[in-house]
Amino acid sequence: MATFVDVHPDNPQPRLIAQIAGAVRADELIAYPTDSGYALGARLGNRDGRDRILTIRELDDKHHFTLMCSDFAQLGQFVQISNSAFRAIRHATPGPYTFILPATAEVPRRLLHPRKRTVGVRIPDHALCQALLSELGEPMLTSTLILPGETEPRALGWEIKEELDHAVDLVVEAGETLAQPTTVVDWSEGYPEVIRRGAGDPDRFEE
C-alpha cells in the first residue's frame, strides 16, 4: 500500500520534502505532481524503479526517459548542448518542456535510448519539484504518468493512490495540477524538432 503525503503547493513543508527524498533514496518509486501533470520518479541509479516505470506504462526499452533537473547547470552535466541549443533552452526553462539531447558519460547506459544514445532532460517550474530536487542534490529519473490507453497525464493524487496503490510506493498530493504533458523537443541532430506539442509553447522551436 502506497504512502500518501499531502504537501502545501506553494510552500512545501521541509519535513515532508525530507520524507519524500528519503523514500527516493531508499529506492522507492513515487508519483508526484509537476508543472505538466503527475509523473513517476525514482533515484537515478534505481534499476528496479526504471523497470517498474516501464511496466506501469507498458513501454518498451526504446522509451526516452527524462532526467528532472533543478537548474541549467545541473542539466549541463548530463547532456551535450550546442551553442544554439544552449541559448534557446536557457530562455525556455524552467518550464513544461522536455529536451532530447546526446547524453554524457554521467548518464547510466540503461537510461539511454539504445540506438541514439540520447536522454530527455527538463527543468520544472514547480515549487514541490524544485524543493525535492534541492533536497536530493541530484536529478531524478522521471516519466510522465500517462497510463496505457490514455493520452493525458493524471492530475489528482487521490485517484493515483486508488489506482496504483500497489504499483508505486508513495504518492505526493500538492493541490490541483495541470493535466497536460510537456512539449518535447528533440535536439539530438543539432536542430530543434518538436515531437510532442504540450503545455510549453512549441512555436518558439518551430521555424
Q: What is the CATH number of the domain that holds 104?
A: 3.90.870.10
> Three-state SS for 133?
helix
Which structural domain range is residue 74 located in? 3-205
Give the span between the Cα atoms of 52 and 56, in whole angstroms. Answer: 6
Q: How far is CA 24 from CA 15, 169, 198, 207, in A?
A: 15, 10, 27, 40
pLDDT above 70 as % of the chain: 100
pLDDT surpassing 80 at residue 195: yes
Instruction: Calculate the CA dihedral of residues 130, 133, 138, 143 and round it to 10 degrees.
Output: -90
Number of domains in the chain: 1
Quick one: pLDDT at residue 64?
84
Whether the Cβ atoms of residue 67 and residue 140 lie closer than 8 Å to each other: yes
Q: How many CB atoms neighbour CB 70 within 10 A?
A: 22
CB within 8 Å of 126: residues ≥ 6 apart: 33, 34, 35
Write out pLDDT tens, residues 112-164.
888 889 999 999 999 999 999 999 999 999 999 999 999 999 999 999 999 99
Give the tens place of pLDDT for each residue, 19-59. Answer: 999 999 999 999 999 999 999 999 999 999 999 999 999 99
The residues, any chain, with a CB within 8 Å of residue 162's CB and separated by 6 or more, are none
